[in-house]
């Protein structure tokens, strides 16, 4: 086993790369039902929503911690974090990318994907492996 300085990660070049880096952190933390919504044409304040679920409020907090730590390593800090203490719906504002980390039943209740039907939706297989499946959501 080689011991040395950790490999420096690259800073996200744009909002799409930032969203991909967030998705990778979610997958590492075993987040479920990952979805990216391209809201740049319908929202105006950000380019992407990343939506992910945890199996418990503690796992939701763990997912948000993973995102925070992974991005902090490359010098990216959120503008704001809301809802962390309760762990039911954690919102992480990275300006061009907004992350919604939900406890599963809370995500079902608020159903953000239905609120943004006109946004381009990018979903990922349950295993987190393989290429993303893209589809244009019905308006």
pLDDT of residue 108: 94
Find the length of the chain. 139
Domain limits, the chain: 17-128
Residue 118 has a CB neighbour count (10 Å cut-off) of 15
DSSP E strands, 4-132? 32-38, 48-54, 80-82, 89-94, 97-103, 120-123
pTM above 0.75, yes or no: yes
pLDDT tens per residue, range 73-86: 999 999 999 999 99
17-128 — its CATH code? 3.30.460.10
């Amino acid at each position: 086993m080689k011991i040395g300085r950790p490999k420096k990660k690259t800073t996200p070049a744009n909002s799409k790369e930032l969203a991909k880096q967030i998705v990778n952190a979610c997958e590492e933390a075993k987040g479920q039902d990952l979805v990216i919504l391209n809201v740049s044409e319908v929202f105006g304040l950000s380019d992407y929503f990343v939506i992910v679920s945890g199996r418990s409020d503690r796992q939701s907090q763990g997912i948000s911690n993973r995102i925070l730590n992974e991005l902090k390593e490359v010098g990216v800090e959120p503008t704001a974090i809301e809802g962390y203490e309760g762990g039911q719906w954690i919102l992480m504002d990275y300006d061009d990318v907004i992350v919604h980390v939900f406890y599963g039943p809370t995500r079902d209740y608020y159903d953000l994907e239905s609120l943004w039907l006109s946004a381009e939706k990018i979903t990922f297989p349950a295993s987190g492996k393989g290429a993303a499946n893209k589809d244009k959501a019905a308006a």
